[in-house]
Amino acid sequence: MPFVNIRITREGATREQKEQLIEGVTNLLVDVLGKNPKTTFVIIDEVETDNWGVGGESVTTLRART
Amino acid sequence: MPFVNIRITREGATREQKEQLIEGVTNLLVDVLGKNPKTTFVIIDEVETDNWGVGGESVTTLRART
Amino acid sequence: MPFVNIRITREGATREQKEQLIEGVTNLLVDVLGKNPKTTFVIIDEVETDNWGVGGESVTTLRART
Amino acid sequence: MPFVNIRITREGATREQKEQLIEGVTNLLVDVLGKNPKTTFVIIDEVETDNWGVGGESVTTLRART
Amino acid sequence: MPFVNIRITREGATREQKEQLIEGVTNLLVDVLGKNPKTTFVIIDEVETDNWGVGGESVTTLRART
Amino acid sequence: MPFVNIRITREGATREQKEQLIEGVTNLLVDVLGKNPKTTFVIIDEVETDNWGVGGESVTTLRART
């Protein structure tokens, strides 16, 4: 019964891509640890770029400069 | 000073229901562990059904099929 | 399929008390939101008092002073 | 490569304030632990006051009464 | 710069299996979303079975009965 | 009433350093957002290097090679 939380910046991930993440990480837990997929939960959090920082500045600022 | 994070799918929980969750889980921590309710925090995260996976597929897909 | 994460300081919660927390919070989600208990997950994290801060100091320091 | 998650109520934090939080907490990890800022991540979650509880009631209710 | 948190029960996952989880989930984020692996973080939390609940009881109790 | 979770690898942070992190991040929230320090919580999670991945490999492997 694993629980996986994936956090990415909100920059246009499609529903299909999110389905692929859910399916892929569930299969990974089945393959590596023999976990039951029926009780494997995955939650994807999409975070605004203003609210995600790396290197001491927000991703919004980082994207604007590069 | 417990901290509780409740994650549910975003499917119409009302403000009253969320108040009941907050009150109920706070009382539980008082009753079972003698915690001080004043410093008990509860955060409810409501997650889009596209972003919650179980059994290798999103809840959106699961709800559409069943 | 709710997911609940309860964080408390590691100060001697017994196995019975943890069972009561798990049962109580699961029942709460059934009662308030009609959730299925079979797919309700609860994870309790017990945190060392050195690693939990409130009011700008650790709980270890707070407990020593009061 | 520290990871910091700051959770606050959604009550009007500006982009500048969020930049200050990201910069400040990154500098703190550099100063105290000698961490590399380039691989220091900060995520700020802003939570609706209906969804944040303290003392057994939501912050919405608390703010309305006080 | 995704962040992934995998939570599993502490039931003997080996270092090799944890390496496979880290590599697999990082590759998944590269393949599906084109993310940079160098800034992809994965944290695995292993949780005692006393502290993980499903269906209103701990995994310790569940394992003992089945 | 902010809640801050700091996650670092378990590589010898002292109690004094953890006190400095708690004090520093609490002061930051007071200074930037005017938050009340008394209801500011900080939790530090120290994660084994086997369980923290970056660039598709564990920090244990990364440290051994560099």
Instruction: Report the C-alpha gap between D50 and E7 in whole angstroms.
Output: 28
In the numeric block, which tokens belong to residue F25? 């991040």
- Read off the pLDDT band of A65 (50, 70, 90): confident
| Residue C17 near residue C54 (C-beta atoms within 8 A) | no
Q: Count the helices and strands in chain F (H runs, E runs).
A: 2, 4
Q: What is the mean pLDDT of residues B4-14?
A: 97
Question: Residue D62: what residue type?
Answer: L
Decide: C57 and C66 in contact? Cβ < 8 Å.
Answer: no
Please check whether residue A8 is in contact with residue A46, taking contact to mean a CB–CB distance below 8 angstroms: yes
Are C57 and F22 in contact, with CB atoms under 8 Å apart?
yes
Q: Residue C58: its pLDDT value, please?
A: 98
Query: Do F43 and C61 make contact, defined as CB atoms within 8 angstroms?
Result: no
User: Has residue D66 got a pLDDT over 80?
Assistant: no
**What residues in E contact C35, CB-CB < 8 Å?**
none
- CA C34 – CA E39 distance, rounded (Å): 40
Cβ–Cβ gap C50/F15 under 8 Å: yes
CB contact under 8 A, D15 and A57: no
Are residues E7 and A7, on separate chains, in Cβ contact within 8 Å?
no
Q: Do D18 and A58 touch (CB under 8 A)?
A: yes
Cα-based distances in Å from C61 to A50, C11, D58, F28, F35: 35, 14, 29, 20, 21
Indicate if the pLDDT at residue C62 is higher than 90.
yes
Looking at residue F1, its pLDDT comes to 85
CA pair distance D23, D37, nearest whole angstrom:
9
Q: B57, A27: Cβ pair inside 8 Å?
A: no
**pLDDT the model gives residue F66:** 77
Q: Write down how long chain A is.
A: 66
Encode pLDDT of A34-64 as tens digits. Answer: 999 999 999 999 999 999 999 999 999 999 9
In this prediction, residues E7-16 reach a mean pLDDT of 97
Name the 3-class secondary structure at D2. Answer: coil
Subunit partners of chain B (3 or more CB pairs within 8 A): A, C, D, F
pLDDT band at residue E1 using 50, 70 and 90 as cut-offs: confident
Identify all chain E residues contacting C14, using CB atoms and an 8 Å cutoff: none
Give the pLDDT band (50/70/90) at residue B35: very high
The pLDDT tens digits of the residues spanning E23-39 come to: 999 999 999 999 999 99
| Stretch C22-49: mean pLDDT | 97
CATH second-level architecture of A3-65? 2-Layer Sandwich (3.30)
Rounded to whole angstroms, how far apart are CA atoms A45 and B2? 23
- The continuous run of DSSP H or E covering F22 comes out as helix F15-33
What was the ipTM of the complex prediction?
A: 0.97
Chain A environment of D38 (Cβ under 8 Å): 54-55
Q: Do chains B and C touch (3 or more CB pairs under 8 A)?
A: yes
Nearest CB to D51 within list B25, B26, B43: B43
Select the residue of D15, D27, D43 nearest A7 (Cβ to Cβ).
D43
* Chain E residue with Cα closest to D42: E3
Q: Which of D2, D35, D49, D52 is catalytic?
A: D2
pLDDT tens digits, one per residue of F21-56: 999 999 999 999 999 999 999 999 999 999 999 999
The Cα F23–Cα F42 span in angstroms is 9
pLDDT of residue F18: 98
The predicted pLDDT at position A24 comes to: 98
> Please, what is the Cα angle at F52 between F47 and F55, to 5 degrees?
155
Task: Please give the Cα distance from E11 to B45 (Å, whole number).
Answer: 29
Mean pLDDT for B9-35 is 98
Chains near F, with 3+ CB pairs < 8 A?
B, C, D, E
**Two structure tokens written together for A11:** 């920059």
State the pLDDT at residue C14: 98
Contact C4/B2, CB-based, under 8 Å? no
pLDDT score at C1:
85
Indicate which of C44, C50, C65 best probes the interface with F, i.e. most F CBs within 10 Å of its own CB.
C50
C2 is catalytic: yes
